[in-house]
Structures are given as C-alpha cells and as structure tokens.
Amino acid sequence: MARGKRLTIRDVAAAAGVSTQTVSRVINNRPDVAPGTLERVREVIRETGYAPNMLARGLTQGRSHVLGVVAYGLEYFGPSRVVSAIERQAAEMGYGISLNLILEPETDNVDNVLRSLRSRQVDGIIWAIPEVSNNRAWSRTKSADLPVPVMLVGGMAGTTYLPSIGIDNAAIGCLATEHLLAGGGRYVGIVTGPLTWWEAQQRLDGWRQTIAAAGREVEERLIFEGDWTVSSGEQGLYRMLEACPEIDAVFASNDQMALGVLHAAHRLGRKVPDELSVVGVDNIAEASHFWPPLTTVHQPLQDAGALAVREIDLLIKKSRQTRRTQESAPEVILLQPQLIVRESARRVEPVQLSVPLPETIALPAQPALSNQPIEARTPVS
C-alpha cells in the first residue's frame, strides 16, 4: 500500500478484504463485527497508521466530535484542574477540544464567543468560566435559543437556567471552620478570595453560618478579603492580628493564601498549630510538604471536569433524538468537598462518652478519597 498518499477507508477495506461498511463499524466500536474480522481490520489500521478523516466523518454523521470549551484563569489552581480534566475525559470519549480562553471573567462578549464556536461546528459547549459578579446573566435570556447543548461548570449563584455542575462551596467553609472550632479556636478569622467571585462568597457564608451556629459572634474584624495569592494571605494575617491580637485560628480560602498565612506566622514567631491553627482549600500537591503540612479541604475539581464531558455527551445525544423543550428543568449536580486533616490545625480530640456504646454498634470509618464524585442532583425550576 502506497505510503505517500493519504490513506482512505477504501484502502483499509481493500487491505483487510472487507467492505468499507465493516471498517466503519470497527472504527465506531460497533458490536456487530465478527471477532476474526475485527482483529484483521485493527491489524491493518495498526500497520498502516490509518486515522479516520474526522471532518468527513462528522459531515456524514452530522457531528464534528468537537466540544467547545470556554475558560478563564488557567493560572489559578481550580480552573486549570477543571480544564485539564475536561481535556482528558474528552480524549477518552473520542472528542476533540476547541478552547476559547477569555481574558476577563466578567465578559460581555458572549454572543461573539458562541458565534465563533458554532462556526467551528462544535457539538456542544462547556462554559467553565468562574462565576464572577453577574457574568452569567446571559444564560437567563439565551438558554432557550442556544443552537447546541451548553453545560455550566462552577458557580451557580441563584437560579440556573442551564444544566450545571458545581462544588458545594458553602460546605467548604463549614468544614474548615467546624474543624478550627472543634480544635479549640476561640477567634477564627477568614482570608477570603475576591468577593466578586461566587466561590469566595459561598466560603465566607459557610464561615459565617458555622460561627453563628456555634453561638459565637460573627466579627467583621476577623474577615480579610484576599485575591487568591500567597501575598494576600500573608497580609491577611498581619491585618487580622492588628484588629484582633487574640486570633488563634485562620481559614484561608485557598492553599496559596494559607501558605502566606503560615509564612507570616513564622515571621512573627507564632507557633502553628499550638498558637495558630490554619486550614486551606484545594489540597494542592505541595500542601502536604508545607511546614507544618497543611490541613485543607479537597474539592473534586477533576471530577467536575470529567463529569461535565460525560453530561454534555448525554445532552448531545438527547438533543439529536428529541426536540429540546423549555418545560424541562435543567439539572444541577452539586459535588461535595472533603476535609484532609494534617498538622497545621490543632487536632480534634475524640468525644469521651459517659455511657459506653453497645458492642453491636460500629462507628463508620472516615471515608477515603474516591475517584467517584459525591454528588447531589436536583432539577431547578
């Protein structure tokens, strides 16, 4: 078989002694191919290095097998993890990616972005821009007119008008604050992310709710607005100590800011965790190598990205089978975070029961991290 020209499906069929329809069934993983024939066609494909013409295949099937992904903030840990997971899952499922990076999250250029993606014949769109200020207002007015399925990832302030996947950020704030209080924290401060970001607002809300539920006063002097950077975490501890010298615990809304808090504590001679407990968010790879190793809240970012691809694939298939209706409420999937206990926060002492438990009752172990997302699905009306 000549190597100088682009191979076609007819060349593969001729070399394998089968029809082009049979080669197509093999390429599309159809089950109606005899095992011997399947292996013979695959062997020819391996030997020749044949790759299907995806454009022609898409025109034949009415699909491009390309997903549009709109993203922002790949310099931040969360968005970068989500997008990398989207790319991996898409490749596993046979999709290509058309990536649009937005310079500012509060974009008003939505029409141009959607038009550009449609011109590339994408089958569906994953909108992975963090929810900042009112940057998803467009979904309220355009949701019924979108030409292809669209999945939102992250955010979800208020009512959502499109299928959405998010992480329970209020639960992140609750988990971190509960752990600091249970470890004996009397004055628990918080370094938030930028409060135009929905994630930062929700983590602050979780902190407020937990402080109030513990019967403590919610003190504004214990709140410092950071910007996700190490330096803002450092400055946050300095400012909170000026306002409240008794502060003995800090919830930093991401691990980078927690590193800044640890650095400031070291410079000031505050022992961690004896004099100052610290909890972060994200469980970045370096968190276990901070000194002391950082107690943090793991959020299932990779699960969110991979799940977005699986869900958009289902929406694409559904949209090709039935006409989308405005009556069907969009589904919301909320993934749950998990506390990772290390040495930067004072340990929580086990509760001493005055009455021993019956021997027949077994207390459940702390669940280990799983590759499967813990999720709650709710249709939003």
* Per-residue pLDDT at 145: 65
pLDDT of residue 281 exceeding 80, the answer is: yes
Mean pLDDT (the chain, rounded): 84
Least confident of 46-60, 64-78, 117-131: 46-60
Q: What is the residue whose two structure tokens read 């302030």?
A: 157
Kindly state the average pLDDT of the residues 74-78: 89
* Per-residue pLDDT at 370: 36
Element (H, E) at 261: helix 255-268
Kindly state the average pLDDT of the residues 242-264: 98
> Fold identical between 9-52 and 64-162+301-335?
no
Kindly state the average pLDDT of the residues 310-322: 85
Question: Which residues are CB-contacts of 264 (< 8 A; sequence separation ≥ 6)?
Answer: 233, 234, 235, 237, 238
* Per-residue pLDDT at 247: 98
pLDDT of residue 202 exceeding 50, the answer is: yes
Selected residue with higher pLDDT from 2 and 286:
286
- CATH assignment of 9-52, among 3.30.70.3270, 1.10.10.10, 3.20.20.70, 1.10.260.40: 1.10.260.40
* Per-residue pLDDT at 24: 81
- CATH 3.40.50.300 for domain 169-298, yes or no, is no
pLDDT tier, 108 (very low <50, low <70, confident <90, very high otherwise): low
Burial class of residue 368 in the structure, from the number of CB atoms within 10 Å of its CB (0-12 exposed, 13-18 middle, 19+ buried): exposed
Task: Give the residue extent of every domain in the chain.
Answer: 9-52, 64-162+301-335, 169-298
Q: Return the CATH number of the domain spanning residue range 64-162+301-335.
A: 3.40.50.2300
pLDDT, tens digit, 9 for 90 and up, residues 112-127: 888 888 778 899 999 9
Kindly state the average pLDDT of the residues 153-175: 86
